Amino acid sequence: MATPNFLLHIPMRRILILALSSLGIIASAWGQRLPDTVAPESYDLTLEPNLAKATFSGDEIIHVTVLKPAVTVTLNAAELQFLEANITSGGASEKATVSLDAAKEQAALTVSKELPAGPADIRIRFTGVLNDQLRGFYLSKSARRRYAATQFEATDARRAFPGFDEPAYKAVFRITLIVDKGDTAISNGKIIADTAGPGDGKHSLRFSPSPKISSYLVAMLVGDFACREGGADGIPIRVCTLPEKEALTGFALEASENILKYYDKYYAIKYPYEKLDLIVIPDFAAGAMENAAAITYRDIYLLIDEKTASYDAKKDVASVIAHEMAHQWFGDLVTMQWWNDIWLNEGFATWMELKPLEAWKPEWNLGQQEIGQTLGALVNDSLPTVRTIRADAETPADIVALFDGIAYGKAASVLRMVEAYVGAEVFEAGVNAYLAKHAYRNATAEDFWTQLTETSGKPVDKIMQSFTEQPGAPLVTVQSACRGDRTEVMLRQERYYSDAAKLAAASSELWPIPVNLLPSATRQPTFHLLTKREETFNLPGCSAWVYANAGSRGYYRSSYDPAAFAKMASQIESTFSPEERVRIPNDAWALVQVGRMNIGNYLDLLRNMQGERSRQVVQEMIGNLRDIHDKFVAEADRPAFEKWVRDLLKPLASDLGEAPVAGEPAERQALRADLLEVLAGPGRDPELVAKARGVVEQYMKAPESVDAALAKSSLLVAARNGDAGLYDKYIQHLKTAKTPEEYYAYLLALGDFPETELTRRSFALVLSDELKNQDMFVLYFLLANTQTQPVAWGLFKADFPSIWKKLDPSGRIAFAELAGLFCDGKLRDDSQKFFADQKLPGTERILKNAKDKVNACIQVRELQQKNLSAYLEK
């Protein structure tokens, strides 16, 4: 889907994932791994934060095994002051000299007497700063008070305590937190002792020892959290937040209880920790983080007001919870050996997150949403400069760059294809065997696919290797011919590029692709493994067409000769599943983009789908209309296109009616909101513009009286047609919003106001203290509006130094992504040059991808604008 404005969650998640890319001190690409001489067994770790002074002090004993006799033990540590270090071995204790290497984020502890192989204890006392960078041990603030929180993934545990901060060094953590008397603390274990002191006004909370976990999964949170308590399968579950927000925790609790029960069954291993806490942190760089048994969230992804929340907000919260809970087994219990396999960790959780929800809320139709994930990944993977799933990473900067759409979306989609090919039960059995074998330890991607190959008896290893080691995704071209009582299907594969010239040139990639063929004669789908450039298969029955992605789980696009496609298109509503009906126009659009299909045929296909009522399919149908309207259609043809949009959606609109009907399904209500946005947007329907304004007035007066989805759409429409008076009101409501959903509904609509003076005010807001650093991604929305884009871009450049200062280290690389929002040569060149001049480390690939994206957009206009005129004239 090309429209970023519909749903908060689509762009936000993408941005967040990108915004995670953090760059620390740039260190040399080698020598950052710890030497393999000493391994930790357990940590006794005591931390005492001082919220008022924003500092902390720590005292730890790391119980280690010396693997090779050594005089030096090398640990990770960053931005910590060592007060004292001792190493005890064989009954003798010696003070160690500490030498810090800031660039490598390491500390070398040296003693004079060689440590023999065997057990030793390292005792370190240290201090640090509770930073404002949302990583390591950091300071977070609500309007009322301060909190201390941790965010360690990927390489920031070393900012909270010296240790072996690599995922393969799993250890037991015995944590004690010393906090103010009135405060509490949350960590990976349960509180097993609460004693007064040390010192006045303090108490010490001792947590039960963790099982063996990697350092990046340790969590420590300090403040006045209030928790709602529940449980499932004997595991106590709590949803915790600021006390004033406690009323918003019910939905998350119910979701997590259902999800835990589902995973206990699916994984065939009981939830591996003794409790589960889900905690909102007032300032949070990522969306959520899967710390073992203490999952942390930004507020929008956990808090729901059940009376007012939109359907999408609930789905979002539930799927983020399901994602992080999926990691408790896949990631936390079994962890990647090294960060180069983080794609499997994130891809798996992304693939898994919808499963427990499909079971819990079948009416959410998440099967179709799953396909949405795959389609998003395919768009990303069509860029000529896209990376491969598998990539090496040594330094912290390299590692964070791996948390991108390829690791999440593509990896999840490849798993989805493999699952469809081997069968869901076989896939599950393979996952179970893999987890059982490596529980409490580490594993590699090879371990995973070797197991699946063994369990399934199918060449999963070959498929996974080829999709993870080659960039891009295949386009399968289908030619079928009826030969008496059978049908001959010729399949040909090539790499799909969004760049027409690249696509026309031969590509070298070749994948083993499980193609699920659906012949019109029998309607019986069967898998065929396409391993060559070109291969012919025979199917029983005489078929007029053969669809090559039955079930729509394949990670490839497919195309047909025009006659076969026309037949399929004419039967699309009667013949294909919703999953396939999402896919068919999406694949068609990919062909339009490169000029292999006339946009007129695409628009005709949409007209064939006027009877469509499934929301996900309708979203796909309307997903490109805004881009066509704003970017591709000639100025003079715009009114004709607007009328075409109105005509297309008339039957659906009159079927849905203007107002919600009591008792109707939530999906129908949400669809009405989607429709309002298109009809008033690229449809320019004046009545609906007026209606949206009315909804906004009502929402401002009594938010609980308006469906939140309708309110969100209306806020965008009204903004697009709004002036300074309305803008002022949005700003007012930002300050009084009662739920995160309400807050972001106003915030993200600011970018849609058409007056450049208001764009200016939005940039001022972004730089002020009014906007939290964690919400800087709103810049994406300010720059996405094509109408105000040139002005916004100018402001962005002028304000860049101040913007840069406000970004936490994790937000910085992501901003090169903004260079991909344009659709014209001048802004492309200017933004490329601007970002390149900033010399932001780690942004090279992102900038290249961004340029590809802009070029693809320009190309559509060049290839299709005339076709569009001709079509609209008819």
> Quick count: other Cβ atoms within 10 Å of Cβ 331?
24
288 binds, among Zn ion, ligand BES, none (CB under 5 to 8 A by kind): ligand BES
Q: Are 248 and 241 in contact (CB under 8 A)?
A: yes
Local structure of 499: helix, strand or coil: coil
In this structure, what token pair is assigned to residue 109?
Answer: 């502890």
153 binds, among ligand BES, Zn ion, none (CB under 5 to 8 A by kind): ligand BES
Residue 289 vs 303, nearer CB to ligand BES: 289
Partners of residue 80 on adjacent β-strands? 128
Cα dihedral 572, 573, 579, 585 sign: positive
Residue 23 vs 286, nearer CB to ligand BES: 286
> Quick count: other Cβ atoms within 10 Å of Cβ 194?
11
What kind and span of H or E run contains 546?
strand 546-547
Residue nearest to Zn ion (CB): 349
Q: Does 154 bind ligand BES (CB under 6 A)?
A: yes
Q: Are 410 and 555 in contact (CB under 8 A)?
A: yes
Who contacts 565 (Cβ-Cβ below 8 Å, separation ≥6)? Answer: 545, 559, 588
CA distance 523 to 800: 57
State the chain's maximal CA–CA distance in angstroms.
Answer: 92
Please state the closest distance from residue 348 (CB atom) to ligand BES, in A.
10
Residue 32 vs 350, nearer CB to Zn ion: 350
Window contacting ligand BES (CB under 6 A); options: 282-290, 562-570, 691-699, 812-820? 282-290
Q: Does 323 bind ligand BES (CB under 6 A)?
A: yes
Q: Which of residues 576-615 bind Zn ion (CB under 5 A)?
A: none
Please state the closest distance from residue 170 (CB atom) to ligand BES, in A.
17
Q: Does 290 bind ligand BES (CB under 6 A)?
A: yes
Window contacting ligand BES (CB under 6 A); options: 323-331, 436-444, 546-554, 675-683? 323-331
Q: Does 153 bind ligand BES (CB under 6 A)?
A: yes
What kind and span of H or E run contains 474?
strand 473-483
Residue 347 vs 623, nearer CB to ligand BES: 347
What single-letter amino acid sits at 268? A
Q: Does 346 bind Zn ion (CB under 5 A)?
A: yes
Residue 216 vs 793, nearer CB to Zn ion: 216
Q: Which residue has the tokens 């219990």?
A: 333
Please state the closest distance from residue 716 (CB atom) to ligand BES, in A.
23
Q: Does 320 bind ligand BES (CB under 6 A)?
A: yes
CA-wise closest residue to 463 among 368, 363, 556, 372: 556
422 binds, among ligand BES, Zn ion, none (CB under 5 to 8 A by kind): none
Please state the closest distance from residue 154 (CB atom) to Zn ion, in A.
12
CA-wise closest residue to 364 among 416, 314, 411, 306: 314
Q: Which residue has the tokens 């099982």?
A: 211
Q: Does 286 bind ligand BES (CB under 6 A)?
A: yes
Local structure of 504: helix, strand or coil: helix
Q: Which of 23, 120, 157, 288 binds ligand BES (CB under 6 A)?
A: 288
Catalytic residues: 324
Q: Does 856 bind Zn ion (CB under 5 A)?
A: no
13 binds, among ligand BES, Zn ion, none (CB under 5 to 8 A by kind): ligand BES
590 binds, among Zn ion, ligand BES, none (CB under 5 to 8 A by kind): none
Q: Which of residues 336-355 bind ligand BES (CB under 6 A)?
A: 346, 349
Q: Does 206 bind ligand BES (CB under 6 A)?
A: no
What is the Cβ-side half-sphere exposure of residue 576, based on CA atoms within 13 angstroms? Answer: 31
Residue 128 vs 136, nearer CB to ligand BES: 136
Q: Which of 11, 24, 162, 287 binds ligand BES (CB under 6 A)?
A: 287
Window contacting Zn ion (CB under 5 A); options: 58-66, 139-147, 347-355, 751-759? 347-355
Q: Give how many residues touch ligand BES by CB under 6 A.
A: 18
In this structure, what token pair is assigned to residue 345?
Answer: 């960790």
Q: Are 544 and 489 in contact (CB under 8 A)?
A: no
Burial (Cβ within 10 Å: 0-12, 13-18, ≥19) of residue 813: buried
766 binds, among ligand BES, Zn ion, none (CB under 5 to 8 A by kind): none
Residue 285 vs 648, nearer CB to ligand BES: 285
Q: Which of residues 367-396 bind ligand BES (CB under 6 A)?
A: none
Q: Which of 6, 251, 311, 403 binds ligand BES (CB under 6 A)?
A: 403
Please state the closest distance from residue 324 (CB atom) to Zn ion, in A.
7
Burial (Cβ within 10 Å: 0-12, 13-18, ≥19) of residue 370: buried
Q: Are strands 276-280 and 294-297 parallel, antiparallel or unpaired?
A: parallel
Q: Which of 300, 349, 417, 452 binds Zn ion (CB under 5 A)?
A: 349
Local structure of 466: helix, strand or coil: helix
CA-wise closest residue to 428 among 265, 318, 258: 265
Residue 692 vs 840, nearer CB to ligand BES: 840
Residue 298 vs 672, nearer CB to ligand BES: 298
Please state the closest distance from residue 17 (CB atom) to ligand BES, in A.
5
Residue 405 vs 703, nearer CB to ligand BES: 405
553 binds, among ligand BES, Zn ion, none (CB under 5 to 8 A by kind): none
CA distance 808 to 815: 12
Q: What is the CA radius of gyration of the chain?
A: 28
Window contacting ligand BES (CB under 6 A); options: 196-204, 284-292, 596-604, 774-782? 284-292
Q: Are 553 and 544 in contact (CB under 8 A)?
A: no
Q: Which of 7, 8, 10, 17 binds ligand BES (CB under 6 A)?
A: 17
Please state the closest distance from residue 134 (CB atom) to ligand BES, in A.
10
Q: Which of 324, 332, 620, 852 binds ligand BES (CB under 6 A)?
A: 324
CA-wise closest residue to 433 among 268, 272, 323: 268
> Quick count: other Cβ atoms within 10 Å of Cβ 182?
9
Residue 48 vs 156, nearer CB to ligand BES: 156
Burial (Cβ within 10 Å: 0-12, 13-18, ≥19) of residue 635: exposed
Q: Does 13 bind ligand BES (CB under 6 A)?
A: yes
Window contacting Zn ion (CB under 5 A); options: 210-218, 340-348, 644-652, 711-719? 340-348
Residue 293 vs 726, nearer CB to ligand BES: 293
CA distance 618 to 649: 10
Please state the closest distance from residue 383 (CB atom) to ligand BES, in A.
21
CA distance 19 to 811: 4
What kind and span of H or E run contains 695?
helix 686-701
Window contacting ligand BES (CB under 6 A); options: 320-328, 373-381, 603-611, 782-790? 320-328
DSSP notation for 12-30: HHHHHHHHT----S---SS
Local structure of 728: helix, strand or coil: helix
Q: Give how many residues touch Zn ion by CB under 5 A.
A: 2
Residue 77 vs 342, nearer CB to Zn ion: 342
Window contacting Zn ion (CB under 5 A); options: 344-352, 432-440, 541-549, 581-589? 344-352
Window contacting Zn ion (CB under 5 A); options: 342-350, 355-363, 388-396, 832-840? 342-350
Q: Are 609 and 581 in contact (CB under 8 A)?
A: yes
CA-wise closest residue to 626 among 755, 744, 713: 713
Instruction: Catalog residues that contact Zn ion under the rule CB under 5 A.
Output: 346, 349
Instruction: Catalog residues that contact ligand BES under the rule CB under 6 A.
Output: 13, 16-17, 20, 153-154, 286-290, 320, 323-324, 327, 346, 349, 403
